[in-house]
Amino acid sequence: MPSKAKSCETCHENPATVHLTEMANNHVVLEKHLCDQCASKQGIIGKMQMSLVAELLGNIKDKQKGAAKEADVRCPDCGMLYSEFRAKARFGCSRDYDVFQKHVLALLEKIHGSTEHVGKRPKGAPKALPAAAKGAAEVPGPKGPAKAAAKAPADPVAELEKELEKAVKGEDFERAAKLRDRIREAKARKEGKE
């Protein structure tokens, strides 16, 4: 006898392959069994992907309750507001990483346990940590990798020190300690090079 698979609750046609269970206080509050197509249409698959980021963003907000009333920031390039980013959990352009920097640092730390990329770099991109200052988001620029690399940005140490100051002010001492280590490393790297 064929084992009868549960069919999709919405179309009653395809087999249910997406099984959603929502829990609250250790009790199941909602169960849904859908096929891929219907789950996509209802945005459930996208929602599942987004929930991690949204949840993390929520946590970060709670932590920053003190500064809750601050004005929404808008990216001058893509026009995205920080509040929109929070809702979509997707950036509008690469500049958003700098425009929403304060939030982005905390978010990346939460997701990855790190904010600093230590892997490969496009040829021509500077090896050391350059300033993440305005405009430095994209290396190489639209004119091609070689040219853009020439305008390698300013002092990495200064940038890290700025971040450290911020961390201390915000009483985020864990982060401050990490930054201090990185400043030491960056200084050592710099001296080694010169």
Partner 1 sequence: MINIDDLAGKTGEWLRGTGPDSDIVVSSRIRLARNVAGRPFLTVASHKAKAELEAQIREGLEGVNLGKGRLYVALKDTSPVDRQFLMERHLISRDLLNAEGDRGVAIAKEESVAIMVNEEDHLRIQVMRSGLQLEEAWREIDRIDDEIAAKLPYAFHALHGYLTACPTNAGTGMRISVLLHLPALVMTRQIDKVFQALSRINFSVRGLYGEGTQASGNFYQISNQATLGKPEIALVQSLSDVVPEIVRFERHCREKLAKEQRTALEDRVYRACGTLKYARSISSEETMELLSAVRLGSQLSLLPEIKPGTVNELFVTTQPGHLQKQEGRPLSPQERDLARAGLIRGRLGGR
What residue ranges bind partner 1 (CB under 8 A)? 2-3, 5, 13-15, 17-19, 36, 39-40, 44-46, 48-49, 52-53, 77-80, 88-94, 97-98, 104, 107-108, 111-123, 125-126, 129-132, 136-145, 148, 153, 156
d(CA 167, CA 180): 10
148 vs 168, beta carbon nearer partner 1: 148
Torsion angle of the four alpha carbons 34, 40, 41, 47, in this order, in degrees rounded to the nearest 10? 100
CB of residue 82 to partner 1, shortest distance in Å: 13
Least CB distance to partner 1 at residue 27 (A): 20
Least distance in Å: CB of 16 to partner 1?
8
- H and E: helices and strands count for the chain: 8, 2
The span from the CA of 154 to the CA of 74, in Å, is: 25
Q: By the 8 A CB rule, do 9 and 32 touch?
A: yes
Taking the C-alpha atoms of residue 106 and residue 108, their distance in angstroms, rounded to an integer, is: 6
**Nearer residue to partner 1 within complex by CB, 66 or 142:** 142
Give the nearer residue to partner 1 in terms of CB position, either 154 or 188.
154
